[in-house]
Amino acid sequence: MKKNGKVFVIGIGPGDEAYRAPAATRALMKSDTIIGYKTYIELIEETLEGKEVIDSGMRKEVERCQLALTLAEEGKVVSLVSSGDPGIYGMAGALLQVKQQRQSDIEVEVIPGITAVSAAAALLGAPLMHDFAVISLSDLLTDWELIQKRVALAGEGDFVIALYNPKSKGRTIQIEETQKILLKYRSKETPVGIVKNGTRQGEVVIVTTLGEMLLHPIDMLTVVIIGNSHTTMMNDVMITPRGYGI
């Protein structure tokens, strides 16, 4: 009987090793094969010695999952790598969907990580201290109508809003529309934080306002945090107060 392998779905956190869970590092060490998008693989180079490494481009999620399960069926321990938390717009869902479709009984362990919005918030101050909504502006896999509706409802509910995948080379309208929608509910002075490559090489932290946010560079490696009606910006520190009577 063939030995069964295992698939770890790993979140490597926002970038710096200091923010990567020991469980993730240990799973990488235990793995025979590591599969992931090239940019993320480069962040964990120090743990790759002696491993089979399969890097691949974006938009190959399903192929990566199929490969991980096939290798595990051959007896290998495989790590499928996401940045941040694999459970938040990462690889956990695709892998489990593919596993169900294949009716595979391979053991899968999801190892959570610090997601991009937590790292961004820490660099900005404390913008997430109140209820918040996390919305991806990528319409590759979601109808743009639904995304717009969610932005409007989050605006109406005075949620702090964290935008993932706010803008790519081929997708620039969505962040403009999002700004327009939110200006119906919030003042143009509402504090906004823009964090690119939080805790890793090329880190950029910008504090601005809802009215001026589009004057700053925003791309796929950026998280945008839009404050609620109580969020303040003082000395470049963004805080959504929770009302301790301070």
Contact 185, 214 (CB under 8 A): no
Judged by DSSP in three states, 243 sits in: coil
Is 143 buried (19+), middle (13-18) or exposed (0-12) by CB count in 10 A? exposed
CA distance 9 to 226: 30
Neighbours of 120 (CB within 10 A): 25
Minimum CB distance to its own copies smaller for 101 or for 172: 101
- The nearest distance, CB 107 to its own copies, in angstroms, is 12
Could you tell me which stretch among 22-30, 48-56, 73-81, 209-217 binds its own copies (CB under 8 A)?
22-30
State which of positions 52-71 bind its own copies (CB under 8 A): 61-62
Regarding 96 and contact with its own copies (CB under 8 A), the answer is yes
**Longest CA pairwise span in the chain (Å):** 66
Regarding 30 and contact with its own copies (CB under 8 A), the answer is no
Regarding 1 and contact with its own copies (CB under 8 A), the answer is no
State which of positions 214-243 bind its own copies (CB under 8 A): 234-235, 237, 239-243
- The nearest distance, CB 134 to its own copies, in angstroms, is 5
CA distance 241 to 172: 32
Could you tell me which stretch among 29-37, 138-146, 184-192, 204-212 binds its own copies (CB under 8 A)?
138-146
Binder among 129, 183, 204, 205 for its own copies (CB under 8 A): 129
Tell me how far the alpha carbon of residue 1 is from its chain's centroid.
39
Q: Lay out the site mask for its own copies across 153-182 (x = CB under 8 A, - = otherwise).
A: xx-xxxx-----------------------
Minimum CB distance to its own copies smaller for 156 or for 219: 156
Regarding 132 and contact with its own copies (CB under 8 A), the answer is yes
Minimum CB distance to its own copies smaller for 1 or for 18: 18
Regarding 20 and contact with its own copies (CB under 8 A), the answer is yes
Judged by DSSP in three states, 122 sits in: helix
Minimum CB distance to its own copies smaller for 72 or for 119: 119
Contact 238, 175 (CB under 8 A): no
Minimum CB distance to its own copies smaller for 23 or for 214: 23
Closest CA to 78 of 110, 12, 108, 34: 34
Residue at token pair 């910008």? 206
